[in-house]
Amino acid sequence: MSEVRNPVEPFLRMDRMPHIWCPGCGIGTTVNCFTRALIESKVDLDHVTIVSGIGCTGRVAGYVKLDSFHTTHGRAIPFATGLKLANPKLNVIVYSGDGDLSAIGGNHLIHAARRNIDLKIVCVNNLIYAMTGGQTAPTTPNDAVTSTAPYGSYEPAFNLPHLVEAAGAVYVARWTTYHVRQLARSMQEAFAKKGFSFIEVLSPCPTLYQRRNKLGDGLETMKYYKEKSKVRNGAPTSEVGLTMQGEIIVGKFVDRDRPDYRELMRHRLAETLGDRYVECEELVCS
């Protein structure tokens, strides 16, 4: 009998399995979608690079068999900015969590969107700091109990699609880990899109968020995603804010074109420097 293999295995560092994620966690599901998107889009894997920050999602870089960088907390985007500028041939994916990208890394998130750096951001949003034990995140909805908001969170939460659209992202989508096919398709679209793309993926953290808020296990969360998600492609991002166990607007919200950073740089420098401008391709030193 021939050995049965998972089709995503060639994309994973199998020598690092088992992974650290909890049963019911959604991060693995997103990685599955990611590998599916890689397969479908037929991109040259030698030129796909993944950059993560710190946190549960930050560990993704360590498990996928690509050039991969596990950077410092919050700094995946500026690291990826340098990487992409040094080698424009790379398809650079930033794969990290909501706390990493929107709290400690929030400043970098908006500035990379403003500059329209050609990066694909996958933001796995589990509404909480999971790796450190379930503390409040900028995405934690009102009323939710966390280890640092034991009486319920009273901070307003970020509406991430609205934030990144305002800052200049050219592609903005949101899905949940229930929407695996839609998520994989969105990832594929983002790979092909020039400019700053942002995909938010709602994902359960049964160990810390669901348990502490008495919301059941991973399966219960899937049921919630299924029942309360509403696909509204093109929805105004100002209307897609999340509430505790409320309706989840999913879909592709933004898909627009504007010149990316490199194009803007090239245009300006060629115009002002003329023949003196030496266009950079790859900045490979010897």
Partner 1 sequence: MHADPRGVLTGVHFLDGDHACCEGALTAGARFASGYPITPSTEVVERFAARVPTLGGIFIQMEDELAASIALQGAVWGGAKAFTVTSGPGFSLMMEHIGYAAMTETPCVFVNVQRGGPSTGLPTLPAQADMMQARWGSHGDYGIIALCPNSPQECFDLTIQAFNFAEQFRVPVMLMMDEVVGHMTEKVVIPPAEQIEIFPRRHTSKPPADYLPYETNGDMVPEMAHAGEGYKFHITGLTHDERGYPVMTVPAQDKLVRRLQQKIERAADEIALYEEEKVDDAEVVVVSYGITSRVAQRAIELARAQGRRVGKFRLITAWPFPEHRIRQLAQRTKAFVVPELNLGQMVREVERLAGGLSRVLPVSHAGGGVHRPEDILQAILEAAS
Q: Give the list of residues 6+ apart from residue 268 with CB closer than 8 angstroms, or none.
A: none
Site residues for partner 1 per CB under 8 A = 13, 15-16, 45-47, 49, 51, 61-62, 65-72, 74-75, 78-87, 89-90, 107-108, 111, 265, 269, 273, 276-286
Q: What is the closest distance, in whole angstroms, from the C-beta atom of residue 270 to partner 1 in the complex? A: 9
| Long-range interactions of 159-163: CB distance < 8 A, separation 24+ | 159/237, 159/238, 159/240, 159/241, 159/242, 160/98, 160/102, 160/123, 160/125, 160/198, 160/200, 161/198, 161/200, 161/237, 161/240, 161/253, 161/254, 162/237, 162/238, 162/240, 162/241, 163/102, 163/109, 163/110
The smaller minimum CB distance to partner 1, of residues 1 and 278, is found at 278
Q: What is the closest distance, in whole angstroms, from the C-beta atom of residue 284 to partner 1 in the complex? A: 4
Q: What is the closest distance, in whole angstroms, from the C-beta atom of residue 221 to partner 1 in the complex? A: 28
Give the position of tokens 């589990």.
Answer: 126
The token duo for 172 is: 């903005």
The smaller minimum CB distance to partner 1, of residues 37 and 242, is found at 37
Q: Per this entry, what is the length of the chain?
A: 286
Q: What is the closest distance, in whole angstroms, from the C-beta atom of residue 66 to partner 1 in the complex? A: 6
CB of 133 closer than 8 Å to CB of 147: yes
CA atoms of 280 and 35, how far apart (whole Å): 31
Q: What is the closest distance, in whole angstroms, from the C-beta atom of residue 37 to partner 1 in the complex? A: 18
The token duo for 188 is: 């594929």
Which DSSP category does 94 fall into? E
The token duo for 26 is: 């959604």
Q: What is the closest distance, in whole angstroms, from the C-beta atom of residue 46 to partner 1 in the complex? A: 4
CA atoms of 246 and 131, how far apart (whole Å): 25
Q: What is the closest distance, in whole angstroms, from the C-beta atom of residue 99 to partner 1 in the complex? A: 16
The smaller minimum CB distance to partner 1, of residues 230 and 268, is found at 268
The smaller minimum CB distance to partner 1, of residues 2 and 272, is found at 272
The smaller minimum CB distance to partner 1, of residues 119 and 173, is found at 119
The smaller minimum CB distance to partner 1, of residues 180 and 269, is found at 269
The token duo for 48 is: 């796909």
Q: What is the closest distance, in whole angstroms, from the C-beta atom of residue 150 to partner 1 in the complex? A: 29
The smaller minimum CB distance to partner 1, of residues 180 and 265, is found at 265
Give the position of tokens 């995503």.
Answer: 8
The smaller minimum CB distance to partner 1, of residues 80 and 163, is found at 80
CB of 51 closer than 8 Å to CB of 69: yes
